[in-house]
Structure 1
Amino acid sequence: MTASAPPLAPASKDPPISPTDIAEFAHGLALHLPGDWAADVESHTDPVLRSGLIGRVWTPYDARPSLARFGPVTDAVLADASGQALYLLPHRTDRVLVCPLVPGALHEDFTDRVLAPPCIAVPAVAARAAWRLRDRLLPHYLHAHNEALRAQRAARACPDVRHRAPAVSPSAAPVPVPAVPHRRRA
């Protein structure tokens, strides 16, 4: 006799956090992050205008269209003096989705060669979110930014030499292949 899996929890039907809450959250988060971050809050009712931001999200390309499913929203961009930027989207009542943006000084030919930093959902409390970002996102973002910048500088220094992609970090180990082949349902 096999035990059945517990039923999945239904998706939250609560509306995402309000526009005033995302603005307060973004400004509070800018104060809690290390360095000098500034918040820019905008309301996007036209998905075409948001597509410019979604296109700059530094994530594997197949994940970008899923960001487009968010309807008209008030979102925010946090930017620091070095050109790094974070895109904040309301996710649930108590969560905000934080996506790293490709810095404007980097060309996509070089950012596509490095492992993209993760997009993460954080609590809608600025101090707790800042801790998670410092721990889970910013180190990966800084590493990816430095690797892409190093590759871009090398390419500019020797334009006639074909440059290899930087080594992928050890945390990006290949997915193990299961020992037993997957069984199909009858």
Structure 2
Amino acid sequence: MLNIGLGVYRTWPEDEHGQSSAGWRPGLSDEEVYEAAKGRWKLGVRADRERYAVFSAMDIVVLAVEIDHISGPDPDGRRTIHGAILKPGHPVYDRYVGSKSQVGKSQNPVQYFDSPFDHTDCACGCGEEVPSGRDFLAGHDQRAIHDRVKLVGGVLQFMDWFDATWPGAEPQT
């Protein structure tokens, strides 16, 4: 799960990215926190695999969002989180909002932690769960590949098929 640490709330005239505030202070509505917290972060490719983001201030989670998509990066490498604000009754909200942050203090406001809410099904089709950031359980990627090779007939037949169909493939001699 993605955790964004928020600093002290501040405002400014709306900038070219449509943002006019950042940070957190007591008394802000969830919508105000979201508008101040959603954008202009240096997020790597791992963020694209996360389902949820929580925003923390003073070591307490103050907002949870189900990520729809993450835009950008802008020329400066910063990105914006787009999603739905979670409310009481949603399991992620109920587990994290109002609780101590799951990550320790850091100079970097962007951190990740393993959460049972981020687990997804293994891409091989076995039905088992894998943690966020992974597609397969250990060894299951090889199982998926070999299952597909068998569908074509075997390794040699797969290589022939691949070389004949993949753009730019050069047959091996």
**Which TM-score bucket, shorter chain as reference?**
under 0.3
Determine which structure has more spread, i.e. the larger CA radius of gyration: 2
**Which structure is higher in helix share?**
1
**Which structure is higher in strand share?**
2
The normalised TM-score by structure 2 is 0.26
